[in-house]
Structure 1
Amino acid sequence: MVSGFVLFNGLVYPSFKPLVRTEAMVVVGDRVVYAGDETRALRIADALGLEKVDLKGRVAMPGFIDAHAHLDSIGINLATLDLRGIDSIEELKSRLKEYVKSVKTRWVMGRGWDQELFRERRWPSRFDIDEVVSDRPVMLVRVCGHAAVLNTRAMELTGLLNAADRDVIRDERGNATGVIVERALDKVEELVRGSYTLDDYREFMMNSMKYAASLGVTTVSFVSVDLKSIRSLIMIEKDLGKLPIRVRAYLNPFDHGIDVIELLRQLGIRAGFGSHYLRINGIKVIADGSLGARTAWLSRPYSDDPGNSGRPNYGFDELMSIARRSSEACLQLAIHGIGDRMVEVILDIYGKLGNAQALRHRIEHASVLREDLIRRIRELGIVLAVQPHFVIADWWVVNRVGADRARYVYPFKTLIDNGIMLGFSTDAPVEPLNPWETVYAAVTRGCYEGIELCKYTGNERVGVVDVLHYYTYGSAYLLREENELGKLEPGYLADFIIIDKDPLSVGDKELRNIKVLETYTGGQKVYIRESH
């Protein structure tokens, strides 16, 4: 008996570019073997003795491939205090007060606040947190993941209270405010994560993968991966035989004193090493900060902070060394560059490597792009992992960069028109992992929400077909797997979702309300909606 099934009596999208609509699809084993006429598909099913799955008028399409997300942080966030959307420091304190009543962990963790939303019009401080919790260390991470506020106990335990560190923010009197950014935050997160056991990590990973599957995400490009995370994924795959979704890992270049690039080189691990479900693709480097924390490196100062242009996290020679060693080890680079000056430096480095296009080296975010940078990206053949939901979340960005630079911010349509390959993503948990929120943001560009950037860049709205293409095939291209993932054509892996509405038939405002009813990876059902 052949293992497989036929989907019929519905609408199937094997591809979005070119746009192909069919009536049915046949899956044998873990692959699509036919997509087309329903009558022929049913004949194939009868000949092979396949199960028949009635779509009942619903829609099947390729599963979403998130080109840039943090599976470990998603899993941790599912178990920590959610501060997304709060509008005041008082509300932050109120939520923290309730949360600590039921949490017994040594560190109290939360994430998601944005000072731009606060009625107090200021950043939170350690003194705010001390009012609620003073006897246990607390760290509350800003939504962007590039800044956090600690209470005094946490500042003392980490040695940051009196540290001479530029990433520890101080007031005009020189006193630490409790806000930390970039590498200081990295140090604290490393300390906190060090307290988690391997079993903790396995739970975080399973929870995040199941959550992704429930949203229709069948592959995740997992970035900023530490060794404990990759080890936990290897153990899960060994125990279960496969993962619920496909994971492509981009490891940190250094981990607790270990030179990860050299470790991978000595082991002979190159881009694409692993199984169909878990692969190591390359190295992720966070080269600058974020616009929200004003640490992204701009070519000119921030409009709302004229003495500050942001800064790089690495000197040129250090970043060049990481890039060259990664390329020589045949590892794909994914370098985080948000500010235009940072993107410029990354392109200088990729230009010097010589094999950037062959290895499909990536730039993550590429948030502020001058016209000359777009030309260089096209000429060098660099691919970009972008996050359309930033357009809505960064509602303050025009004030941050100024009206004269607004046209440079998140220019997705211009990139597409220039033939640059994009992979759409969320940077979750920075933005919601739900792909339909990202689709909505790319198509509407925040115009219905009155986002100021839309007034300057409404021309950068992307059509639904293009959005779905870059969220499936485009992301697969970034992973160097466009011949197996991102479509439902014969020979492709049967990673697909069944949804309740046709995204090409609903209005823009309805896109974010589309529901995922079932999710399949390799022809196996990994999620079914309870009410379905």
Structure 2
Amino acid sequence: MKNFFSILTIALFLVSCAKKEADLIVINSNTYTVNSNFENAEAFAVKNGKFIAVGTNKEIQDKFTSKNTVDAEKKAIVPGLIDAHCHFYRMGLQQQKVSLEGTKSYDEVLQKLVDFQKEKNTNFITGRGWDQNDWQLKEFPTKEKLDELFPDIPVAITRVDGHALLVNQTAIDLSGITKDTPVSGGEIIVENGKMTGVLIDAAMDFIKFPPTSKKEAIQGLLDAQKICFSYGLTTVDDAGISKNTIDLIDSLQQTNDLKMRVYAMVSGDNQKEIDYFINKGIIKTEKLNVRSFKIYGDGALGSRGAAMRTPYSDRENHFGALIYSPERYQEIAKQIAASDYQMNTHAIGDSANTWMLKTYKEVLKNAKNRRWRIEHAQIVSKEDFTHFDNILPSVQPTHATSDMYWAKDRIGPERMKGAYAFKDLLNKYEKIALGTDFPVEKVNPFLTFYAATIRKDTNNYPEKGFQMENALTREETLKGMTIWAAYANFEEEEKGSIEVGKFADFVILNQDIMKVKDSKIPKTKVVATFLNGEKVF
């Protein structure tokens, strides 16, 4: 009998030794792997920041042991979410300025400015987030009340979309502009012979904001990371940032203070920076990927800066405008096409989409796998959808549910047929990248999921959904927020799904977004966010 127990002890020891040591094991989960077959799994193991096995509880527990085992208690797990178009750095800086998001009137905006100045006592008041389309009087504000409240302190507050700026007279005086200052690619709005204080697109560049200190920049990035991790985002595509910001991101990632993965779209506003990065070549680490340029094609629909082929329905003889000349877009596109870089162009209006698609096609000459992107692809003419056969659409579903109340009045019923047409775009390219454009919209990716699939606001409006022929399925939407977004970044081999060899980025949710009732989707919460197998939220 003694020999029997000795043999049993040895056998158990050998079995234990046969198991491989993992850094993390997750069991009892409802994991959506988002692999090629969109399979579910119960468990997975992580080693050195990557998935090393995915399968059933028995398969994983028979092969691996770990000092760190997470029992998911049947909760849904999805790959780390990717926001394919956002303004990560800008949102972080906004945390240190007055927030005007959700204001329901100009008077509420003014009160927030007054309260902010009492607390901060700054030398230059800046903020962002007002949207006149959310007010009862859906017209641009004017500066008279700003001048009364702040006669000696410059004020410059940006519209929610970043394409319009309201300034007071002190800020105007500092800039040196007048109502007659020429503007290309924008507008100084004048009424009754006087400046209203509203500047559109390129005209905004006349206002010189106080420089951001390095301390403020670092804090902004860390604040943005904290917010994004709380929503399950593990990769962000920061659309339009400078070399200095990219260098700062890289340095913070190297010290592991910034863990967020960043797909950096270099701002194409500066020719010197275009030249620098093209000469430098692609920059790629596990956390940073610099291989694209963000170019502005036009402005925004909300501020009537989007370039349209025929006049706006609610403003006679007004077409919006391209930011640059057609010749300039050709120059930029040809230079980028001759490199390994990707070109990602903001195009809202049908005219901007027409021109950029035409330009892409001409310079790429049917080149394969360039994955050039149209960012927003918001209003597309019927005949232009065919051009998305090798041009990747990158859209933000919450734009549809934010704009649906007034967009038809702005562009008319005929053009609405090609507006926010996510399914039509997906059918042409067979993939679609989804993002939020935060801080233009809220960071919350579950609002993205809801807007893409259900196409309603959180008050259940409209009852039957907004243009439901262009709704995406839940599977398509999750792919657009994971594997297809990774593909848009040339990163599908390393992230976007829970598969062996990929980064162990995943999110545990409090409910199954693939199965819960429609109305419950926006209420989804993140239980935990893991990056490289490390719990970061």
What range describes the TM-score normalised by the shorter chain of this pair?
over 0.9
Q: What does 1:109-508 align with in structure 2 at a 5 Å threshold?
A: 109-162=126-179, 164-166=181-183, 167-188=186-207, 191-192=208-209, 195-240=211-256, 243-255=258-270, 259-266=272-279, 268-270=280-282, 273-354=283-364, 357-378=368-389, 381-394=390-403, 395-446=405-456, 449=459, 457-508=467-518
The structural deviation recorded for 1:398 is 0.9
1:517 equivalent to 2:522? Answer no
Q: Distance in 2 between matches of 1:343 and 1:434?
A: 27
Total equivalences in the alignment:
514
The structural deviation recorded for 1:64 is 0.9
The SS at the match of 1:144 is coil
The structural deviation recorded for 1:251 is 0.8
Q: Distance in 2 between matches of 1:431 and 1:393?
A: 8
The structural deviation recorded for 1:99 is 1.3
Q: Distance in 2 between matches of 1:302 and 1:450?
A: 29
Deviations along 1:403-424, one digit per CA (max 9) or x if unpaired, are 1221111111122233432110
The answer as to whether partners of 1:283 and 1:332 remain within 8 angstroms in 2 is yes
1:54 equivalent to 2:62? Answer no
Q: What does 1:30-69 align with in structure 2 at a 5 Å threshold?
A: 30-46=49-65, 49=66, 51-69=68-86
Q: Distance in 2 between matches of 1:251 and 1:2?
A: 41
The answer as to whether partners of 1:391 and 1:453 remain within 8 angstroms in 2 is no
Amino acid at match of 1:42: Q
The answer as to whether partners of 1:45 and 1:52 remain within 8 angstroms in 2 is no
Residues 451/344 of structure 1: CA separation in 2 closer, same or farther (3 Å cut):
farther
The structural deviation recorded for 1:67 is 0.5
The answer as to whether partners of 1:8 and 1:53 remain within 8 angstroms in 2 is yes
Aligned to 2:4: none
The answer as to whether partners of 1:406 and 1:456 remain within 8 angstroms in 2 is no
The structural deviation recorded for 1:449 is 4.5
The answer as to whether partners of 1:17 and 1:469 remain within 8 angstroms in 2 is no
The answer as to whether partners of 2:456 and 2:465 remain within 8 angstroms in 1 is no
The structural deviation recorded for 1:130 is 1.7
Deviations along 1:305-335, one digit per CA (max 9) or x if unpaired, are 1311111011111111111112223211111
The SS at the match of 1:222 is strand
The structural deviation recorded for 1:122 is 2.4
Deviations along 1:106-144, one digit per CA (max 9) or x if unpaired, are 221111111122223421111121232222111111111
Q: Distance in 2 between matches of 1:339 and 1:345?
A: 10
TM-score by length of 2: 0.91
Q: Distance in 1 between matches of 2:397 and 2:464?
A: 13
The answer as to whether partners of 2:27 and 2:72 remain within 8 angstroms in 1 is yes
Q: Distance in 2 between matches of 1:419 and 1:320?
A: 23
Q: Distance in 2 between matches of 1:90 and 1:341?
A: 35
Aligned to 2:7: none
Amino acid at match of 1:77: Q
The structural deviation recorded for 1:90 is 1.3
TM-score by length of 1: 0.92
Single out whichever of 2-11 and 350-359 deviates more from structure 2.
350-359
The structural deviation recorded for 1:454 is 6.8
Deviations along 1:4-63, one digit per CA (max 9) or x if unpaired, are 1110012111116632111111111111111111111112223xx452111122221101
In percent, how many aligned pairs have the same letter?
28
- What stretches of structure 2 of length at least 5 have no aligned partner? 1-19
Q: Distance in 1 between matches of 2:316 and 2:437?
A: 28
1:19 equivalent to 2:38? Answer yes
The answer as to whether partners of 2:177 and 2:206 remain within 8 angstroms in 1 is no
Q: Quick one: which of 79, 89, 98 aligns to 2:115?
A: 98
Single out whichever of 404-413 and 352-361 deviates more from structure 2.
352-361
Single out whichever of 478-487 and 410-419 deviates more from structure 2.
410-419
Amino acid at match of 1:334: N
The answer as to whether partners of 1:495 and 1:520 remain within 8 angstroms in 2 is yes
The structural deviation recorded for 1:456 is 6.6
- What stretches of structure 1 of length at least 5 have no aligned partner? 528-532
Q: Distance in 1 between matches of 2:135 and 2:294?
A: 32
Q: Distance in 2 between matches of 1:457 and 1:369?
A: 15
Q: Distance in 1 between matches of 2:302 and 2:237?
A: 23
The answer as to whether partners of 1:29 and 1:522 remain within 8 angstroms in 2 is yes
Deviations along 1:218-254, one digit per CA (max 9) or x if unpaired, are 00011110122112112212333x6321001111124
Residues 456/494 of structure 1: CA separation in 2 closer, same or farther (3 Å cut):
closer
Residues 40/141 of structure 1: CA separation in 2 closer, same or farther (3 Å cut):
same
Q: Distance in 2 between matches of 1:211 and 1:126?
A: 33
Amino acid at match of 2:93: I
The structural deviation recorded for 1:345 is 0.9
The SS at the match of 2:358 is helix
Q: Distance in 1 between matches of 2:463 and 2:160?
A: 19
The structural deviation recorded for 1:453 is 11
Question: Highest Rg: 1 or 2?
Answer: 2
Q: Distance in 1 between matches of 2:137 and 2:382?
A: 38
1:87 equivalent to 2:92? Answer no
The structural deviation recorded for 1:448 is 6.7
Deviations along 1:487-506, one digit per CA (max 9) or x if unpaired, are 00111111111111111221
The SS at the match of 1:519 is strand
The SS at the match of 2:536 is strand
Q: Distance in 1 between matches of 2:464 and 2:147?
A: 40
Aligned to 1:530: none
The SS at the match of 1:236 is helix
Q: Distance in 2 between matches of 1:452 and 1:17?
A: 34
Deviations along 1:284-324, one digit per CA (max 9) or x if unpaired, are 11110111011111111111113111110111111111111
Amino acid at match of 1:229: T
The answer as to whether partners of 2:81 and 2:235 remain within 8 angstroms in 1 is yes
Deviations along 1:349-404, one digit per CA (max 9) or x if unpaired, are 111122664321111000011222111111xx111110000111112111111112
The structural deviation recorded for 1:2 is 4.6
Amino acid at match of 2:506: F
